[in-house]
Structure 1
Amino acid sequence: PEGKRYETVEVKVRRLDEVLCKEDLAGPVLLKVDTEGYELKVLEGAVNLFPYIDLIFVEASVLKRFHDSYTFYELMSFLRTNGFDIFQVLTANKDKRGLIRFMDILFAKEAFLAEWAGGGDYYERRVHGVD
């Protein structure tokens, strides 16, 4: 837009599972991702850490907001394939027409969701390492 200046900056990108290792993740673990349209790529780079992550908090685009970004279906499908389901929608941001642009969504591992519904103590076991 007129009057605004934009600068392109090249940034070195590394996978999360190259930066962190399972020993860095003492349960329970929440991964928060808000990267302005790059969420799916970040999650793809963390897939080797998923066995050690319990919850994922994502700002998920519903309407395509960024060039070369993911679709909402792609994000949902990826997380579902990797054992995470929607636990809670925390906020929804709408455009002027009332259409949802993006949502803050908390995803949880299937084991957590099953125990939550049944009154189990998933986190107590994760914290103390008891199965």
Structure 2
Amino acid sequence: MSQDETSDTQPGMHSPICGTSDLRNQAHAQAYSPRRFFDQLLKTDAPVVLDVGAHRGESIRHFKSIYPDCQMYSFEPDPQNFAELEKVAAQFGTTAMCVALGEKEEVGHYYRQSISHLGGLLPINADSTDSLGYARQATNEEIVVSKTTLDNACVLLGIAQVHILKIDVQGFERQVLEGATAILQHTDCAVIEIGLYDFYGKTNSFVDVVNLMQAAGFSLWDIAKLSKNPKSLRTDWIEVVYRKDSAQPRDRPQP
């Protein structure tokens, strides 16, 4: 038996087995469904969902499969992605805007990549040590885009209450939240992807998100997803779910 193998350790674990956490994880996987998860957080079957960093409409399909009657508003700055997003929005009868969201209203710069979902308002770091190879060949094609705040967008669209705020903006989380201080006071829960790696340069996104969400009256509800790096053996990014401290889900009959 090598030094990396012990009788009380399983692959992917950093500490010895203790207790029944593995069994609980298995039970969780059997009990979980997206609808059951969000029903713990919401009072409505027709939530208002804001999709910041909508790419090509994947979240429209996702949330419409969970809540067919949800109202969705999608925001995507890249015109190429937006052309595809607009088709999906039309198919499902939702609203889409071709705009970047951040901390202030201004002309912004978007860095388009050959892998479309990697584009964002921050360029990919060519010297990334966490990258599995793409960073060295990143195109970082800079285009000019319109940029506003989520607060301003909500005023423009007449959005007064948000049930789910989804943010996936490739390292730009802090700026989006800084431009959303008003609407966060009327938001029930948020799903935020946070980068922990150096793919978009040095970032303090994790600490920034924690501080901003706590200041807005939210508590961490779940770490719903994560992506492991096979080279560094660390975690590249996590998807966290926050719940407003004052939010109370409605009573639902137990199955």
Distance 1:107 1:37 in 2: 18
- Letter in structure 2 aligned against 1:36: Q
- Letter in structure 2 aligned against 1:89: I
What is the aligned partner in structure 2 of residue 54 from structure 1? 188
- Which structure carries more relative contact order (alpha carbon 8 Å, separation 6+)? 1
Structure 2 residue runs without a partner (length 5+): 1-135
Q: CA RMSD in A?
A: 2.3
- Indicate whether 1:111 and 2:229 are aligned: no
Q: Percent of pairs identical after alignment?
A: 18
Task: Work out whether residues 34 and 59 of structure 1, in 8 Å CA contact, stay in contact via their aligned partners in 2.
Answer: yes
Distance 1:64 1:40 in 2: 16
**TM norm structure 1:** 0.75
Which has the higher Rg, Structure 1 or Structure 2?
2
Distance 2:244 2:186 in 1: 10
Q: What is the SS of the residue equivalent to 1:57?
A: strand
What is the aligned partner in structure 2 of residue 102 from structure 1? 237
Moved over 4 A (4+): none
For residues 9-48 of structure 1, what are the structure 2 equivalents within 5 Å?
9-21=143-155, 23-26=158-161, 29-48=163-182
- Cα deviation 1:43-102 (Å, max 9, x = unaligned): 111111111101010001123431364331122111111111110111111112321111
Count of paired positions: 114
Q: What is the SS of the residue equivalent to 2:143?
A: coil
**TM norm structure 2:** 0.41
Q: What is the SS of the residue equivalent to 1:35?
A: coil
Structure 1 residue runs without a partner (length 5+): 113-121, 126-131
